[in-house]
């Protein structure tokens, strides 16, 4: 089992419950699953490893798209122009859909807005 954890995110509020969430998941599953946590990963790191995960738990900020479900994303992080600058790195459903996930059994999203499915009022497409 892998936990993708973002207790802090560039330009977003901290997710103060994430460290406890990691501890509780590890305690609840350690007798049956090996648990590895990817803390503050980039999209490239997650995409490189995602196909090898059987079970994954995302604890991060998420954003829903009102127009296209493939454009929904989870917010990870990457280095900006310098090692001291961190920027948001967006993992979209579109990118995940391109991966061969034959080993995948379960994914859990503990992220804001990931289950949101509403349209904006008074929206016109041009």
- Cα→Cα distances 2→33, 40, 42, 92, Å: 10, 13, 15, 18
Tell whether domain 2-111 is in CATH 3.40.50.150.
no
What was the pLDDT predicted at 64? 86
pLDDT tens-place string over residues 80-112:
887 778 999 999 999 999 999 988 888 888 876
pTM, entire model = 0.84
DSSP string for 69-91: GGG-EEEEEEE-SSTT-EEEEEE
What is the domain partition of the chain in residue ranges?
2-111
Could you report the per-residue pLDDT of 25-69, keeping only the tens digit for each? 999 998 998 999 999 999 999 999 999 999 999 999 999 888 888
């Amino acid at each position: 089992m892998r936990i993708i954890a973002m207790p802090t995110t560039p330009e977003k509020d901290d997710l103060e419950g994430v460290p406890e969430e990691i501890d509780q998941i590890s305690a609840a599953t350690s007798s049956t699953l090996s648990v590895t946590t990817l803390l503050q990963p980039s999209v490239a790191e997650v995409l490189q490893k995602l196909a090898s995960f059987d079970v994954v738990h995302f604890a991060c900020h998420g954003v829903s798209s009102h127009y296209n479900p493939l454009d929904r994303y989870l917010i990870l992080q990457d280095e900006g122009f310098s090692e001291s600058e961190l920027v948001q790195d967006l993992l979209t459903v579109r990118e995940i859909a391109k991966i061969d996930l034959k080993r995948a059994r379960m994914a859990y999203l503990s992220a804001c807005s990931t289950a949101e499915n509403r349209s904006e009022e008074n929206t016109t497409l041009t």
